[in-house]
Amino acid sequence: MSLSQDDLKKFEANGYLFFPSLFSKEEVGVLTGELDDIFAREIPSNVREKNSNIVRTSFAVQMYNAAYARLARHPRMVKPVEEVFNEKLYMHQFKVNAKAAFGGDVWQWHQDFGTWHEDDGMPEPRAMNIAIFLDDVNEFNGPLMFVPGSHKRGVVNAGHDVTTTSFPLWTIDQNNIKDLVDAGGIVAPKGPAGSMIMFHSCLVHASGSNLSPWDRRTVYLSLCAVSNKITRFHRPGFISHRSFDAIECLPDDCLLRDYEVELPWSGGIPASELEASWKM
């Protein structure tokens, strides 16, 4: 997959691109068929909602699950970001956000680079999120919301929120959000399962709770330029990966064919990856 000049102009202006139905129903089915097993695991990388046992986020799934390991090397997800940064990428973070029906809680307004910079020492915002809808996304099941153009503001002042939700986050206060929204508005890309979003690490975004009867599961690859390695290792390795090897893509049919991939955590998460502080 290659980005057109029109795509690049839209990305520069808005900070995101949306590709409806980029992955087929069969490809999505391969991924969703693994989720019951993934969410049922009692492992530290399955972060649960603050007031329930519902999985909020499953981190580092590609380290032990073959289908997601192949997705982590998918050219439709990796190549567009390589084009924008004009260099190879490593995987900074990989996760499935569950946003379960009736129980998926909010993600407050934030920029991902703000957290990556403060918590992981990422030097520059040469990182990007690529997301695939694993379910149909509509206005009722907590769609991801963006403030178009907000990536141009650079890093917006944020505070460390460790109480609102089950996952610590550097969040932006309401006055700043009001100013940003007054300037750029709010959009919420919606579409069928298999749709893909690519968005800048400084793009301000959030999502509301899911009170609907429909899940809104999404898989995210957070891809970083190899020249932009993190310098701080205060978070567990399953949240912020500590390997900076460049991603080598598999063929485009990698979700439908059983290409061999490494699964280094198939026997369990190594103790060193559970530590909240680590040195190179």
Q: 5-273: CATH homologous superfamily?
A: q2cbj1_9rhob like domain (2.60.120.620)
| C-alpha span between 187 and 185 (Å, rounded) | 7
Q: Considering only 20-29, 58-67, 114-123, 220-229, which range has the smallest mean pLDDT? A: 114-123
pTM, to two decimals: 0.92
| C-alpha span between 181 and 15 (Å, rounded) | 14
Q: What is the largest CA-CA distance in the chain?
A: 50
So where are the chain's domains? 5-273
Q: What is the pLDDT of residue 280?
A: 47
Task: Give the residue carrying structure tokens 């990698």.
Answer: 254
What confidence category does residue 81 fall into, taking pLDDT thresholds of 50, 70 and 90? very high
Q: What is the pLDDT of residue 164?
A: 63
| C-alpha span between 180 and 202 (Å, rounded) | 13
Q: Residue 58 belongs to what H/E stretch?
A: strand 55-59
pLDDT tens digits, one per residue of 136-178: 999 999 999 999 999 998 777 766 665 565 566 777 788 888 9
pLDDT tens digits, one per residue of 182-234: 999 999 999 999 999 999 999 998 998 889 999 999 999 999 999 999 999 98
**Amino acid letter, 195:** S
CA atoms within 13 A of residue 182's CA, in its CB half-sphere: 6
CB burial of 1-20 (b: ≥16 within 10 Å; e: otherwise) equals eebeeebeebbeebbbbbbe
pLDDT tens digits, one per residue of 37-60: 999 999 999 998 877 888 989 999
Nearest to 212 by CA among 101, 125, 52: 101
Check residues 112 and 20 and name the one with the higher pLDDT.
Answer: 20
Q: What is the pLDDT of residue 245?
A: 96
